[in-house]
């Protein structure tokens, strides 16, 4: 049977292609273009090759120093919030009720912080932590703890971290709760029959069954915290000094503060690359964890 | 191993105040002797799993007591009860190897490592799991996983009883047969009290010495497979056990005679003291009713179809408004649709309000 050759179907792809081209490919190419050039006023551009990238990856230069400092800050921040939010989320999920009207009440309460726009979260904590009018700041100072996120590095970090934990632990908890709910009742009954302690039930049943949702939670939280901008910017503005200046804040400073488009473009490309690599690692780990389930695939 | 006594045991998921008709398990008093192989048989929703979960302690009874060897354990938790249970769907601990899975119930009870290893080896050998002992349990097939579940149920030698809740549902039919024989052999080897819940009569009749039939939250009969077949104590037992099930027909019974659809058939025993006002029925298994050419002295029936089961043929007929199944003798061919039915009088039972009535000689 002869098949009719008809290439008209390509036209159906055209709108998508145009949208993607204008919204992603062309802007990205502009950034690549910027990253290779130096800009001066009056829209003058000069070819700089890979000069900005060399400078960016050289810690002894000014740009490199700022990049690596903010990168380590960012990684440290992600590590700390993951170390707090993941265990805390698991504990919250485990202590949630399994049935009855309290389930709905818990779910709604937990979801509330997730629904608040990021700059509003920042504003809430900015005011909450102020020593003069903020409930938290005033109370802490009143009971004798010298707390001021504007002048003290540690206080600024503590505020940003607590704010992120407040904002996002719910997400981990909700994901874990979904994982817990998917465990059939028979597992708990079998564990009772087998005489398992509470801890044994957690390590032998609940944790393995939550493994996949936990991976997703870690991925989401890592990505989000690695790209964090709005909340610390609203609360601390990256200060005191540079102590809470994360990569995204640094990027905005370079691009819009100094108007160094070339440096900013190089930085944003490297930033983007880091995020893609981390995503790829997580994706690989998750698909492998999934492949474990298929019988017959032996890895000793 | 222990003798298990149920005293007036009843359970309602709707609370103790619910009307007794709605109880998932209506009050039952019975004894499970030590070392017995029991099957708990009944259709879905008849309360058999509830009864099992009451014995294992997963469910706390609304009323009544459970005694293990005379000791009241009704209030004890599952962990303390010393009972093993295997569920319908395989439960395995994903992160552990097969060996660790089998050892888990023993390890949780603080048994010495050497003793655990020895027992795990023994059970693994019985279930043909030895080659898999050091493999991760997660990657095995559903059959193998269910074998691990069975193994965890059997691994403790000191349990009062091992309870099986339809454990072979997920297993392939061919392997089902093997595993069932294996369980039967294990029962002999390990000398454990076993209670096996199923809705499959073949499974129940091949596994158990004593079959307990449940219907609508009540234990309606408990006996050997032969007793259930020969003398069903309840019309439900007659109907549920056997394939095709027992014929149950409304009848008028007087002395040694039963009138069905205007025709009189003879009974072996005499029934003079039937309760007044009760619904009287006659029950006879299709194996003991033979189809014959129509004759004036036989109960006449209309043939609807004939099922050839290979070894034996059963005719599906209609007597008045009632459906009936009857054996077709070899070589018989009936012209047309009408036929007569020949009853074996010694096999015809009389039921009053669904319960078997003993006749007098």
- State which of B240, B269, B288 marks the end of a domain: B240
**Residues B236 and B265 occupy one common structural domain:** no
Percent of chain B with pLDDT over 70: 100
**Residues B129 and B251 occupy one common structural domain:** no
Q: What is the mean pLDDT of residues B127-156?
A: 87
Q: What is the mean pLDDT of residues B330-358?
A: 85
CB B161 within 8 A of CB B195: yes
Best of B54, B94, B102, B195 to disrupt the A interface (most A CBs within 10 Å) is B94
Rounded Cα distance, A43 and A20, in Å: 27
- The whole-number pLDDT of residue A290 equals 58
**Residues B38 and B181 occupy one common structural domain:** yes
Q: Which helix (H) or strand (E) holds B308?
A: strand B299-308
Phi, psi of B289 (to 5 degrees): -125, 125
- The whole-number pLDDT of residue A1 equals 62
Would you mind telling me the total number of residues written for chain A in this entry? 300
Is pLDDT of B178 > 50?
Answer: yes
- Pairing outcome for strands B322-328 and B338-343: unpaired
How does pLDDT run across B233-254, given as a tens digit for each residue?
999 999 888 888 899 888 888 8
CA dist A284 to A158, A175, A287, A297, B139, Å? 33, 20, 5, 16, 20
CB A193 within 8 A of CB B83: yes
- The whole-number pLDDT of residue A76 equals 94
Is pLDDT of B266 > 50?
Answer: yes
**Residues B72 and B32 occupy one common structural domain:** yes
- B247 interface with A at CB cutoff 8 Å: no
CB B48 within 8 A of CB B197: yes
Q: What is the mean pLDDT of residues B35-50?
A: 88
CATH code at position B279:
2.40.50.140
- B91 interface with A at CB cutoff 8 Å: yes
**Residues B230 and B273 occupy one common structural domain:** no
Ramachandran region, residue B72 (left: φ > 0; alpha: ψ -120 to 50; beta: rest): beta
Q: Which helix (H) or strand (E) holds B354?
A: none
- The whole-number pLDDT of residue A26 equals 93
Contact between chains at B93 and A297 (C-beta distance less than 8 A): no
Rounded Cα distance, B36 and B224, in Å: 12
Q: Which two three-digit tokens encode residue A235? A: 């609360």
Alpha helices in chain A (DSSP H): 10-20, 26-35, 51-56, 62-95, 101-115, 118-128, 135-142, 153-181, 185-193, 198-201, 207-226, 230-235, 247-252, 261-291
CATH code at position B145:
3.40.50.300
Neighbours of A114 (CB within 10 A): 13
Instruction: Name which of A271, A258, A257, A261 is nearest A38 in CA terms.
Output: A261
Contact between chains at A189 and B87 (C-beta distance less than 8 A): yes
Q: Is B273 helix (H, G, I), strand (E, B) or coil?
A: coil
CB B66 within 8 A of CB B40: no
Domain ranges across chain A: 51-291
Q: What is the pTM of this model?
A: 0.75
Find the domain containing B316 and state its range.
Answer: 247-357
- B354 interface with A at CB cutoff 8 Å: no
- B198 interface with A at CB cutoff 8 Å: no
Contact between chains at B89 and A297 (C-beta distance less than 8 A): no
User: How many Cα atoms sit within 13 Å of B194 on the Cβ side?
Assistant: 30
- State which of B212, B240, B268 marks the end of a domain: B240
CB B204 within 8 A of CB B243: no
CB A280 within 8 A of CB A286: no
**Residues B221 and B253 occupy one common structural domain:** no
Q: Would you give the distance in Å from CA A255 to the centre of its chain?
A: 22
- The whole-number pLDDT of residue A72 equals 92
A146 DSSP assignment: -
**Residues B275 and B348 occupy one common structural domain:** yes
Q: Is B321 helix (H, G, I), strand (E, B) or coil?
A: coil
- Pairing outcome for strands B263-271 and B280-284: unpaired
Q: Would you give the distance in Å from CA B246 to the centre of its chain?
A: 16
Query: H/E/C letters for each residue in B50-75?
Result: HHHHHHHCCCCCCEEEEEECCEECCC
**Residues B297 and B313 occupy one common structural domain:** yes
Q: Which helix (H) or strand (E) holds B29?
A: strand B25-32
Report the residue of chain A nearest B96, measured CA to CA.
A204
**Residues B222 and B320 occupy one common structural domain:** no
- State which of B211, B240, B269 marks the end of a domain: B240
Of A193, A294, A296, the CB nearest to B85: A193
First to last CA, chain B: 42
Task: Report yes or no for ipTM above 0.95.
Answer: no
- The whole-number pLDDT of residue A298 equals 39
Contact between chains at A192 and B77 (C-beta distance less than 8 A): yes
CA dist B361 to B256, B267, B270, Å? 10, 11, 6
In the numeric block, the tokens 């009053």 are attached to B352
**Residues B210 and B127 occupy one common structural domain:** yes
Would you mind telling me the total number of residues written for chain B in this entry? 361
Q: What is the pLDDT along chain A (300 residues), one digit of tens a residue?
A: 677 788 888 889 999 999 999 999 999 998 898 888 887 777 777 888 788 888 888 888 888 888 889 999 999 999 999 999 999 999 999 999 888 899 999 999 999 999 999 889 999 999 998 888 889 989 998 898 888 888 888 999 999 999 999 999 999 999 999 999 999 888 998 998 888 888 989 988 999 888 888 988 998 899 889 988 888 888 888 878 888 888 889 888 888 888 888 888 889 999 999 989 988 888 888 777 655 544 443 333
Q: What is the mean pLDDT of residues B214-236?
A: 90
Is pLDDT of B116 > 70?
Answer: yes
Of A190, A195, A197, the CB nearest to B91: A190
Rounded Cα distance, B19 and B29, in Å: 19
CB B90 within 8 A of CB B125: no
Phi, psi of B68 (to 5 degrees): -105, 115
Rounded Cα distance, A113 and B175, in Å: 53
Angle at which helices A153-181 and A118-128 pack, to 10 degrees?
130
CATH of domain A51-291: 1.10.3720.10
**Residues B198 and B291 occupy one common structural domain:** no
- The whole-number pLDDT of residue A291 equals 55
Nearby residues of B108 by Cβ (< 8 Å), 6 or more positions away? A194, A195, A196, A197, A200
Q: Quote the number of domains for chain B.
A: 2
- B342 interface with A at CB cutoff 8 Å: no
**Residues B209 and B265 occupy one common structural domain:** no
Phi, psi of A60 (to 5 degrees): -85, -15
Phi, psi of B125 (to 5 degrees): -65, -45
- B109 interface with A at CB cutoff 8 Å: yes
- Pairing outcome for strands B84-86 and B162-165: parallel
């Amino acid at each position: 049977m002869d098949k009719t050759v008809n290439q008209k179907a390509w036209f159906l792809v055209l709108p998508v292609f145009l949208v993607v081209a204008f919204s992603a490919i062309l802007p990205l190419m502009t950034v690549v273009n910027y990253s290779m050039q130096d800009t001066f006023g009056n829209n003058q551009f000069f070819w700089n090759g890979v000069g900005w990238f060399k400078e960016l990856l050289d810690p002894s230069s000014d740009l490199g120093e700022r990049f690596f400092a903010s990168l380590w800050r960012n990684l440290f921040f992600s590590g700390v919030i993951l170390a707090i939010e993941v265990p805390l989320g698991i504990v919250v999920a485990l202590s949630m009720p399994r049935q009855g009207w309290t389930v709905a009440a818990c779910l709604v309460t937990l979801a509330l912080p997730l629904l608040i726009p990021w700059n509003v979260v920042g504003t809430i904590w900015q005011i909450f932590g102020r020593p003069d009018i903020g409930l938290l700041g005033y109370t802490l100072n009143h009971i004798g703890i010298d707390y001021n996120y504007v002048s003290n590095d540690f206080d600024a970090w503590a505020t940003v971290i607590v704010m992120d934990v407040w904002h996002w632990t719910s997400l981990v908890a909700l994901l874990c709760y979904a994982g817990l709910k998917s465990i059939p009742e028979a597992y708990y009954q079998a564990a009772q029959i087998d005489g398992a302690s509470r801890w044994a039930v957690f390590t032998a049943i609940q944790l393995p069954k939550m493994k996949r949702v936990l991976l997703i939670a870690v991925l989401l939280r890592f990505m989000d915290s690695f790209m964090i901008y709005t909340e610390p910017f609203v609360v601390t503005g990256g200060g005191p000094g540079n102590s809470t200046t994360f990569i995204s804040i640094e990027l905005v400073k370079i691009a819009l503060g100094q108007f160094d488009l070339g440096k900013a473009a190089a930085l944003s490309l490297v930033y983007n690359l880091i995020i893609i690599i981390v995503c790829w690692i997580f994706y690989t780990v998750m698909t492998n964890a999934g492949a474990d389930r298929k019988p017959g695939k032996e890895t000793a | 191993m222990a003798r298990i006594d149920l005293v007036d045991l009843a359970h309602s998921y709707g609370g103790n105040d619910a009307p007794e008709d709605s109880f998932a398990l209506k009050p039952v008093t019975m004894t499970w002797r030590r070392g017995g192989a029991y099957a708990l048989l009944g259709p879905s929703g008849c309360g058999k799993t509830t009864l099992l979960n009451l014995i294992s302690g997963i469910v706390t009874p609304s009323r009544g007591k459970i005694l293990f060897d005379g000791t009241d354990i009704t209030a004890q938790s599952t962990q303390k009860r010393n009972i093993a249970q295997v569920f319908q769907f395989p439960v395995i601990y994903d992160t552990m190897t097969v060996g660790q899975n089998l050892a888990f119930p023993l390890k949780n009870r603080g048994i010495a490592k050497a003793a655990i290893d020895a027992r795990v080896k023994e059970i693994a050998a019985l279930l043909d799991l030895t080659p898999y002992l050091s493999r991760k349990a997660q990657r095995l097939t559903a059959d193998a996983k269910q074998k691990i579940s069975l193994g965890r149920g059997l691994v403790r030698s000191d349990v009062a009883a091992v309870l099986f809740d339809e454990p072979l549902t997920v297993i392939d039919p061919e392997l089902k047969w093997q595993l069932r024989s294996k369980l039967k052999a294990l029962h002999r080897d390990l000398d454990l009290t076993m209670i096996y819940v199923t809705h499959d009569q073949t499974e129940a009749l091949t596994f158990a010495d004593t079959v307990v039939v449940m219907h609508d939250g009540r234990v309606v009969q408990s006996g050997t497979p032969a007793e259930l077949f020969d003398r069903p104590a309840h019309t439900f037992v007659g109907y549920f056990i056997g394939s095709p099930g027992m014929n149950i027909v409304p009848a008028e019974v007087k002395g040694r005679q039963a009138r069905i659809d205007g025709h009189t058939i003879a009974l072996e025993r005499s029934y003079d003291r039937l309760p007044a006002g009760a619904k009287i029925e006659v029950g006879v298994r299709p194996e003991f009713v033979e189809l014959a050419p129509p004759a004036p002295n036989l109960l006449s029936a209309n043939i609807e179809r004939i099922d050839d089961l290979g070894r034996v043929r059963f005719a599906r007929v209609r007597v008045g408004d009632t459906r009936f199944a009857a054996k077709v003798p070899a070589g018989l061919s009936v012209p047309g649709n009408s036929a007569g039915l020949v009853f074996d009088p010694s096999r015809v039972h009389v039921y009053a309000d669904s319960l078997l009535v003993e006749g007098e000689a």
